[in-house]
Structure 1
Amino acid sequence: MEKVADWQIGALGTSQAKTWIEATFYIGLMATYRTTQQPRFLQHAKSWAKANQWTLGPREGNADDQCAGQTYLELYAIDRQPNEITPTCMQLDKMITVSQPGFGFKIWWWADALFMAPPAFARMGNITSNTKYFDAMSTMWWDTTQNLYDASSSLFFRDANYVQKTCPNGEKMFWSRGNGWVLAGLARVLEYLPQSHSDRSKFISLFTAMSKKLAMLQKPDGFWASCLTDAIDYPLPESSGTAAFIYGLAWGVNHGLLDSATFLPVIQKGWCALESAVDANGKLGWVQKVGKAPGPSNQGDTAPYGVGLFLLAGSEVLPLGGCTAQ
């Protein structure tokens, strides 16, 4: 984790960009700090947040542009400086004010959004002890789920344009990273959603159903195919979706929602695969480029969002023993 985080910090250089691409990395960097307690990771995350004046992206209400708020909220939890969450709080409050029936799917119309924004609502609810954030998040989450979740497959379509699409083998098209965003988003929401919340059992049911299905779809090499239902036509490793799945599954085992005997072999095989995607310098490869559907990946392909998911996975895998011999 440290080697990969350090490589990505070096690769970003002086960039202070705060799109979902970079913001996902900083979410993973905070997980690395919590795991290692290395001050340099905390300092780098705080420097990035300060450079951005704790503001979200320019598209108000857009889930991708709210992703940065997750790191701001984690930093606020450490030192409780109000300016660190004020812009995020103002934007989430405005969304709650204008929310109406069906609003969730209008604003979170693609599966990726369920990682980018809902955890910020859940974390804000946890920090402020105000249930309005949990309630609004849940309502919007289930709006999106109603439209994109295929209950018969226990998987999500990326967006409404993919409901009727298939992979080359004729099976329904379920994108690996798209479903990875959802599973990882579920873990991050459940981390902070109160035990007493009326919808918590629904989130747990969705999380466990997806987890069971995904465990069945893991390839022998430990990765998941870019099209989850077509490993033949998508044979290459893909590390970003795999990292998201390993994070979610390991979080589920660590929090008692998933059976260790069933899922630990899946997690260990997947983490071994992810380690194999890291070169000697700490560069994570096999990350599918920015997209919205199954596609190719190459050994030299990397991206900050893939690294962020890798770091999240590592933070949950460490208590489970990491990579063991297969």
Structure 2
Amino acid sequence: MRLKLAGALRRALRRRTLARQLRHLPHHAPRYRPIGRRVSNSRMRFARLSVAAATGFVLAGCSTSLPLQVQAPAPTTALSDAVEPQVVLRAMTIVADWQLANPSGHKPYEWQEAPFWAGLYELALQSSSRQKYLDAIRRNGESIQWQPGPGPFLADDHAITQSYFLLYRLEHDARMIEPALARFGQMLQAPFAESLEFSDDKTMREWVWCDALFMSPPALALATSTTGDGRYAELMDRLWWKTTDYLYDKDERLFYRDSRFFDQHERNGKKVFWSRGNGWVLAGLARVLEYLPPEYAGRPRFVALFQKMAERIAGLQGPDGYWRASLLDPDSRPIPETSGTAFFTYALAWGMNEGLLGREYEPMVRRGWSALVRAVRPGGKLGYVQRVGDQPGETGPEQTEVYGTGAFLLAGSELFRLAGRVGR
């Protein structure tokens, strides 16, 4: 009993210390009201506009041609692709439970793990096994004392903190976010003044590759919405647009993975745009918008980019529901690829749920989810996940990675929400 009281006292003191720190923000720091997990679009200052209505673009008929030499995978499990809450939840549960029983082997703080814990958090909120999944997230954080990865400014090493902030919102244990806030405090003092021409060394200091836009920005947005301290969001905003101005191709409305690909071309002569790389960006945009305060002044610019990219991405989906690894040359790597497909499906469904995308996106979302369910192997392993890389690559039915599982869970969480909004 004495030990329990002592533990409770320590937790109370930590909460009080964090609260005191937040009350004494610098006078110049923009302040926001800490918000809950999800910002309902009804509380946002944006009309529910469909991209098609705004631009006159008709999504139907704009998909790339499905490579004829490769057929889409046939279902290998009894899972249904029906967009019904309990059916979607069953698919999410089977895939999540397989991953929990088959750990990836990556270090607990590494970026590969981050989408899984974020996706598992979403599953926990929807599942009758809520505590089981929250306990798993907590064990992962506790195993490394809630630390980010070791690189102070490396975006990859910030990604895991997204799950820390989310769990903190439920449990209010200051230990979960204190190391992340200390890390982000260091970032506030850094100049971030280098060019973004790619080098491995520079990834430790700048967001020089497009994947970084999923890793660090949502964590910084969460830091602001959790604490009310606007400096984190302002830093995120500045660095996001620095990277976007450098890597975003305005004509194609897609992101180069990094500067090494500016002058490269696929066999068909088209530019090289990697599916998962652009999936990181579009999913990162969705998560930034989810966690930015609704009154944040820079929000409309993020919304505009999200809508432009979503429109372009939707038109590149194959008729079988998959996006191939090379977005503009699907024939070069015709095998289906699920990590990019899952991130795109997640982001498009999120956009529909938040009123930022119209009902014309529903067929793409449904086809994407069906494609993902068909790629689940017996037992719950998600197949056709391209391995760790930096450009379009090959994959296969037994190839998996934990970030693919995480993207599947994120997509499923938005299909679960969508199932309550659209007809079946």
- 1:248 matched to 2:347? The reply is yes
Q: May I ask how many residue pairs the two structures share in their alignment?
A: 323
- 1:53 matched to 2:140? The reply is no
**Which 5+ residue runs of structure 2 have no aligned equivalent?**
1-91, 198-204
Q: 2:159 aligns with which of 57, 63, 67?
A: 67
Q: 2:315 aligns with which of 216, 224, 234?
A: 216
The answer to whether the 8 Å contact 1:104/1:140 transfers is: no
Looking at structure 2, the residues matched to 77 and 163 of structure 1 have their Cα atoms a distance apart, in angstroms, of 41
Of structures 1 and 2, the one with the larger relative CO (CA 8 A, separation 6+) is 2
Deviations along 1:253-279, whole A, 9 cap, x unmatched? Answer: 00000002x100000000000000002
Distance 1:227 1:220, change over 3 A: same
Instruction: State the percentage of identical aligned residues.
Output: 42
Looking at structure 2, the residues matched to 117 and 292 of structure 1 have their Cα atoms a distance apart, in angstroms, of 18
Matches within 5 A, 1:109-148: 109-148=208-247
Looking at structure 2, the residues matched to 219 and 100 of structure 1 have their Cα atoms a distance apart, in angstroms, of 39
- 1:2 matched to 2:100? The reply is no
1:288 matched to which residue of 2?
386
Provide the secondary structure at the position in 2 that maps to 1:107.
coil
Q: What is the deviation of 1:18? A: 1.9
The answer to whether the 8 Å contact 1:138/1:199 transfers is: yes
The answer to whether the 8 Å contact 2:155/2:207 transfers is: yes
Q: What is the deviation of 1:13? A: 7.8
Distance 1:13 1:151, change over 3 A: closer
Q: 1:299 aligns with which of 380, 397, 400?
A: 397
Matches within 5 A, 1:69-88: 69-88=161-180
1:234 matched to which residue of 2?
333
Looking at structure 1, the residues matched to 126 and 267 of structure 2 have their Cα atoms a distance apart, in angstroms, of 41
Structure 1 counterpart of 2:310, which letter?
Answer: S
Q: 1:23 aligns with which of 111, 114, 129?
A: 114
The answer to whether the 8 Å contact 1:104/1:142 transfers is: no
Provide the secondary structure at the position in 1 that maps to 2:273.
coil
Give the ranges of 4+ consecutive aligned residues of structure 1 lying more than 4 Å apart after TM superposition.
13-16, 100-106
Provide the secondary structure at the position in 1 that maps to 2:329.
coil
Could you state the TM-score of these two structures normalised by the residue count of structure 2?
Answer: 0.74
The answer to whether the 8 Å contact 1:158/1:293 transfers is: yes
Q: What is the deviation of 1:103? A: 7.9
Provide the secondary structure at the position in 1 that maps to 2:189.
helix
Provide the secondary structure at the position in 1 that maps to 2:112.
helix
Could you state the TM-score of these two structures normalised by the residue count of structure 1?
Answer: 0.95
Deviations along 1:115-174, whole A, 9 cap, x unmatched? Answer: 011000000100001111111100000000000000101100000111111111110100
2:269 matched to which residue of 1?
170
**More displaced 10-residue stretch of structure 1: 106-115 or 270-279:** 106-115
Distance 1:131 1:102, change over 3 A: farther
Structure 2 counterpart of 1:232, which letter?
Answer: D
Looking at structure 2, the residues matched to 217 and 192 of structure 1 have their Cα atoms a distance apart, in angstroms, of 28
Provide the secondary structure at the position in 1 that maps to 2:321.
coil
Looking at structure 1, the residues matched to 368 and 286 of structure 2 have their Cα atoms a distance apart, in angstroms, of 17
Structure 2 counterpart of 1:162, which letter?
Answer: F
- 1:268 matched to 2:366? The reply is yes
Looking at structure 1, the residues matched to 389 and 358 of structure 2 have their Cα atoms a distance apart, in angstroms, of 33
Structure 2 counterpart of 1:224, which letter?
Answer: W
Provide the secondary structure at the position in 2 that maps to 1:258.
coil
Provide the secondary structure at the position in 2 that maps to 1:137.
helix
**Which 5+ residue runs of structure 1 have no aligned equivalent?**
none
Structure 2 counterpart of 1:183, which letter?
Answer: L
Q: What is the deviation of 1:100? A: 4.5
The answer to whether the 8 Å contact 1:102/1:143 transfers is: no
Looking at structure 2, the residues matched to 251 and 60 of structure 1 have their Cα atoms a distance apart, in angstroms, of 31
2:285 matched to which residue of 1?
186
2:13 matched to which residue of 1?
none
Deviations along 1:263-317, whole A, 9 cap, x unmatched? Answer: 0000000000000000220000000000000011110000000000110000001
Structure 1 counterpart of 2:349, which letter?
Answer: A
Q: 1:308 aligns with which of 395, 403, 406?
A: 406
1:279 matched to which residue of 2?
377
**More displaced 10-residue stretch of structure 1: 57-66 or 201-210:** 57-66
The answer to whether the 8 Å contact 2:106/2:112 transfers is: no
